[in-house]
Amino acid sequence: MLKQELKKIMFSALWCVCICVTIAMLTALLLRTPLWAGQKAFLYRLLATDVLCCVLLLTVSGIVYAKVRTLFGVDFSTNVLCIGISTLFMALFFSLGPMVIERSYTVYSLADMTDHAGRTYSAEEIKTQFIEGYIEGAGESQKRIDEQVYIGNLRIVEGGYQITEKGQRLVHLFRFLEMIFPVPDEHSIYPNGRIGG
């Protein structure tokens, strides 16, 4: 009995790996299509594609399991659980993998230094490279502003931009999370220092 259950667990784990690979391949293909091309926030595109893959897999599973009771020894409820776990895992992977490549200054800086391997950089040169190459050269500041307008955290007003109530709620949520999970450098969440603290 125990041996049979262990076999079922091992197969379910293997099934989760197969589902993750399927989601990764579908996402890689869908990102090359115009689907969600208008979505300026790359993370939202990744997560929307992940959810779409989940819905597709659940739909296919429903059709298959309507005809058979088990497939390769896996019943419908185990399959749904495997799809759910795999979708959550891939959402985490997308947040820590491709999203970091698209958004990280550190990745940009290391890539620039790789293109000039062997050269020694002073701290000032790295800062200059960040400002001139990443922020100004690639238009990253405007890209971030456009994303926030699209998401609804900023609004365009005469003379510039204003933070919306949605944007303020997001900052309050992040500050609440930071109180529970303190970060070593609070500057990003308290750019003007803690008020009253």
Domain of 65, in residue numbers: 2-103
Q: How many domains does the chain have?
A: 2
d(CA 159, CA 156): 8
Per-residue pLDDT tens digits for 138-186: 677 788 888 899 889 999 999 999 999 999 999 999 889 888 887 777 8
146 domain residue, yes or no: no
117 domain residue, yes or no: no
Q: What is the pTM of this model?
A: 0.74
127 domain residue, yes or no: no
Let me know: does 49 contact 36? Beta carbons within 8 Å: yes
68 domain residue, yes or no: yes
Kindly state whether residues 18 and 80 are assigned to the same domain. Answer: yes
Per-residue pLDDT tens digits for 63-74: 988 888 877 777
145 domain residue, yes or no: no
